[in-house]
Structure formats: structure tokens, C-alpha cells
Amino acid sequence: MNWDTLLLFISATAALAISPGPDNIYVLVQSLTNSKSHALATVAGLMIGCIIHTTLLAFGVSVIIRDNNNIFLGIKILGAIYLLYLAYKVFKSDSNIYIDTDNTPKKSLKQLFVQGFFMNVLNPKVTIFFLAFFPAFLFSDNMNTVIQFYILGGLFILVSFIIFSSIALLAGLIKRYTLENKYSGIVFKWLQIVVFVGIAIFILL
């Protein structure tokens, strides 16, 4: 088992979870407009959705690995290209962080949990991202590939849950920090770029 690979995976996951994106911004807005418990319900829905993506990835890609290593290599190369594309999109995007709490409707805990779940499960970009991200971090030559994917998925969910929950609990402080520090958006923007490019290089090498 390669512990360095797992630590690198955890670090990359944490960096991506911290960087502002549609999911964690949505969690932040729910905490500001409804309550911390409403934001945590959203986080729970998002994380349960990740289990579905992990399952599809684990059983789908594991079959490919078992049957044809060349196809698996192709998947990893395409994954690296996709991550470089994501880095390019972030580079071209606006570095400002927009937190719009004026037009956010009030919803129940159950509604936000369900919405978080379907936001994740029905988003094809999440599936593609998992396919690009996870295969590069298989960490053992002896352990069953399905189990490895579930371990990676579990770590991804755990790290993301901790960070997203922290965003929900510290929403007011985070909003004040982003508004008072004009360079925060630039820092988070380049953090995403570095992580995407770094993982792509890691895959290609």
C-alpha cells in the first residue's frame, strides 16, 4: 500500500473542497439565509450523492482494468486532459466570489437534503470528474480495485464533509473574510489551477 499516494489524494481533495465552487457556495448561502442545520442537510445530501458516483466508478472502471490495461491507460490520459481543461476554465473565469443571499427561497431540511442529493447525482460533471480524478490514485497492487475505489470515495466524502460542514458552521466569518479581502478570490482561483494541473501532471508521469 502506498501511503504517499493516499496522502496526496487527501491533500488534493481538501484543496478542491476549500476552493469556491457551485456546491460549497450553495452550502454557504443556505447557512446565511436559512440556518446552519439547513446547510448541513444540504451537505449530507451532497455526500450521499458521492456514494452513488463512487459505486458506478468502482464497478465500471474495475471491469475495464481487469479486461484491458491499455483502455485504462487511455482513461487516465483522457482524465489528465480533462483536468487541464478544468484548469483552463478556472483560469479564464472571474476571480470574484459572488454570494447572493437575496433570492434564495426558504426550504425545509428534507427539501435541502433531497436537493443536495440530486444536485450531485444528476450532475454528469461529477461523474466525469470522479473518472478523471480517482484512477490516478489507486494505491495498491494487491488490494481489490473495487475496494480501493471505495476507500478513495470514502476519503473524498470524509474530507469534503468536514470542509463543507466547516463552511456551514463558519458561514458568517467566511463571508466577512471574502468581502474584506479583495485578493481571496484570486488565491482560491490559483489554488484550483495548481491542483488541477498538478494532478494532471501526476497522472501523465
Q: What are 16-40's pLDDT values in tens digits?
A: 999 888 888 889 988 888 889 999 9
Is residue 108 classed as helix, strand or coil in its secondary structure?
coil
- pLDDT value at position 174? 84
Q: To the nearest 10°, the Cα dihedral for 187, 85, 195, 150?
A: 130
For all residues of the chain together, what is the average pLDDT? 88
Query: Does 104 have pLDDT greater than 70?
Result: no
In terms of pTM, does the model score above 0.75? yes
Return the DSSP state at 97: P
DSSP string, 127-139: HHHHHHHGGGG--
And the C-alpha cell for 35? 440556518
Q: Residue 67, exposed/middle/buried by CB under 10 A (0-12, 13-18, 19+)?
A: exposed
- Per the CB < 8 A criterion, the answer to whether 204 and 80 are in contact is yes
The grid cell for 3 is 501511503
> In this structure, which long-range contacts are made by residues 88-93, counting pairs with CB atoms below 8 Å and at least 24 apart in sequence?
90/189, 90/192, 90/193, 90/196, 91/189, 91/193, 93/189
Report pLDDT digits (tens) over 116-163.
999 999 888 888 999 899 988 989 888 999 999 999 999 999 999 999
pLDDT higher than 90, residue 177: no
Q: How confident is the model at residue 168 (pLDDT cuts 50, 70, 90)?
A: very high
User: What confidence score (pLDDT) does residue 101 get?
Assistant: 66
